[in-house]
Amino acid sequence: MVTTFNLFTSIAWIVAGIISAVISILFLVKNPKKRLNQLFSSGFIFWSLSLLFNGINFAVAYRSLVAANIFRDLCVATGILSAAILLLSAIGIYFGAESLHWSLYVVLGLISVASVTIGVLNDWVVADSFGGFKTTDNLLGKSFVQIIPAVFVVSGLILLIVTFFKLENKTAKKRIGYFTIGFSTIILGLFMFLVDSFVNISPYLFPSLAIITWLTGPLLMLAGFYVKVETSSPVYTEQRISLHESKTLDPKHKIERPS
């Protein structure tokens, strides 16, 4: 019989994944021809699938551990790919979409594939001592399932923070502010799960906060897409873009930007 905690976990993750996926699709609907819009949308769709698969794996574990571990593998793969795609998005904002050369895709792709391979081989669903199920605490598996994606997201977050402080246009800065906070919610959610493993309060508290946080991220990112960047301001249009400023947000820069 399914435990109350596993039932809560399954429902919460599945609902969060569906809601996040709908929000992520709205990124693309905003302007489907923009490459950065495509990347942002893809990144959060993969993130949504990761949440969804994680919920399904606990739902089916009582019927079949084999099926549960297949969904866990899908969860790991989509989670890592999500982080890599979101990093590409941040690079595109900071350096301009023209900086996204095929070689960058290949490098991040190879790192992601290696991380997924090691992750799925060292992270699986097992029975716990309460009659339910959990994922293993294998250090190697956790390193590639959590640490590598966290490094990707933190790297992207740093690029967005630098972009935020370098911009002078207020509306462009506001847009990047939404993107920055949206990125940071992923790290905040991971941190809550880390705290949960050391703090013995309620088993529902920190997972609930993490899921709410992860739903807030896509919402903030979507809000950022709807902030219009003013291009008519003399101060901004005459501004020369320095090496440290995002070319993507420069109105003179004819390369695409998220919009």
Per-residue confidence (pLDDT) for residue 229, from 0 to 100: 57
Element (H, E) at 246: none
- Is residue 248 over pLDDT 50? no
Q: What's the rounded Cα separation, in Å, for the pair 203 and 111?
A: 33
Task: Considering only CA atoms, give the Rg of the chain.
Answer: 19
What percent of the chain clears pLDDT 90, i.e. is strictly above it? 28
Within a domain: residue 259?
no
- Average pLDDT over the chain reads 81
Q: Identify which of 27, 13, 12, 25 has the alpha carbon closest to the alpha carbon of residue 79.
A: 13
Question: CA–CA separation, 132 vs 116, rounded Å?
Answer: 26
The burial of 31, by beta-carbon neighbours within 10 Å (0-12 exposed, 13-18 middle, 19 or more buried), is given as middle
**pLDDT above 70 (res 234):** no
Q: What is the pLDDT of residues 42-66, one digit of tens each?
A: 988 999 999 999 999 988 988 889 9
Residue 112 inside a domain? The answer is yes
Asked whether residue 186 carries a pLDDT value surpassing 70, the answer given is: yes
Whole-angstrom distance, CA of residue 212 vs CA of residue 54: 16
Residue 193 lies in a domain: yes
- Rounded average pLDDT over 184-188: 87
Residues whose CB falls within 8 Å of the CB of residue 136, separated by 6 or more in sequence, listed in order: 122, 123, 124, 125, 126
pLDDT in tens, 135-167: 776 778 778 888 888 899 999 999 999 999 998
190 belongs to a structural domain: yes
Per-residue burial over 170-186, b if 16 or more Cβ lie within 10 Å, else e, is ebbbbbbbbbbbbbbbb
Q: In which band, very low, low, confident or very high, does the pLDDT at 255 lie, cut at 50, 70 and 90?
A: very low
Domain with 212, as residue range(s), is 4-249
Residue 232 confidence (pLDDT) above 50: no
Q: Would residue 230 count as lying in a domain?
A: yes
Structural element, H or E, at residue 149: helix 148-166
29-33, 67-71, 187-191, 232-236: the lowest-pLDDT one = 232-236
Would you say residue 32 has pLDDT above 50? Answer: yes
Examine the pLDDT at 24 and tell me if it is beyond 60. Answer: yes
Q: Is residue 145 part of a domain?
A: yes
pLDDT bucket at 244, cuts 50 / 70 / 90: very low
**Full-model pTM:** 0.82
The arithmetic mean of pLDDT across residues 181-186, rounded, is 86
CB 93 within 8 A of CB 249: yes
Task: Give the range with max mean pLDDT: 64-73, 124-133, 136-145, 228-237.
Answer: 64-73
Q: How many folded domains does the chain comprise?
A: 1
- Give the CATH number for residue 208: 1.20.1070.10
Determine, yes or no, domain membership for 119: yes
Q: What is the largest CA-CA distance in the chain?
A: 67
Query: What is the reported pLDDT for 109?
Result: 93
Q: Which helix or strand (DSSP H or E) is residue 118 part of?
A: helix 102-121
Lowest mean pLDDT among 62-76, 87-101, 173-187, 217-231: 217-231
In a domain, 255, yes or no: no
